[in-house]
């Protein structure tokens, strides 16, 4: 049982490049989400999903796309990278999308630098 996995762990992009951050969970969790964490700002929600085929925007969605074609996978796409997207990205999952009383499990994070 691997929990939540993220790849890559580190990435350097040039401005304007695109890429996909991968996230997968093997716990059959309904709810999945992407956060970015910047110094002094805590975790900010980018996008989330309450089940396969259903996604919605969080607090800071601009410049990012997501899809959820399966329960297990929730990739985050950066469309045209900008230096402001330099951050640490965490993917998380939770058992139920209906009752958010269950804990979230986080992946180990992806450290992204955009030059």
Q: Of 82 and 97, which CB lies nearer to other proteins in the complex structure?
A: 97
Q: Which residues, 30 to 69, sit near other proteins by CB under 8 A?
A: 31, 33, 35, 40-45, 48, 50, 56, 58
Using rule CB under 8 A, residue 12 touches other proteins: no
The stretch among 17-25, 65-73, 79-87, 94-102 that binds other proteins (CB under 8 A) is 94-102
* Secondary element (H or E) of residue 36: strand 31-38
The stretch among 20-28, 61-69, 71-79, 95-103 that binds other proteins (CB under 8 A) is 95-103
Q: How far is the CB of 16 from other proteins (least distance, A)?
A: 28
Of 57, 38, 53, give the one whose Cα is nearest residue 112: 38
What's the order of all strands across the beta sheet hosting 76-78? 4-7, 19-25, 76-78, 64-66
Phi-psi region of 64 (alpha: psi -120 to 50; beta: other; left: phi over 0): beta
H helices present in the chain, as ranges:
none
Cis peptide before 8 (omega within 30 of 0): yes
Q: Of 12 and 100, which CB lies nearer to other proteins in the complex structure?
A: 100
Contact residues for other proteins (CB under 8 A)? 31, 33, 35, 40-45, 48, 50, 56, 58, 90, 94, 97, 100-101, 103-104, 106-109
């Amino acid at each position: 049982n691997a929990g939540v996995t993220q790849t890559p762990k580190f990435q350097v992009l040039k401005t304007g490049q695109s890429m996909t951050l991968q996230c997968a969970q093997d716990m059959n969790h309904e709810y999945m989400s992407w956060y970015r964490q910047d110094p002094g700002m805590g975790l900010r929600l980018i996008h989330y999903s309450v089940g396969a085929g259903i996604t919605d925007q969080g607090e800071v969605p601009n410049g990012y796309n997501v899809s959820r074609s399966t329960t297990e996978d929730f990739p985050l796409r950066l469309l045209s990278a900008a230096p402001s997207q330099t951050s640490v990205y965490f993917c998380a999952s939770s058992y139920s999308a209906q009752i958010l009383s269950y804990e979230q499990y986080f992946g180990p994070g992806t450290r992204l630098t955009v030059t």
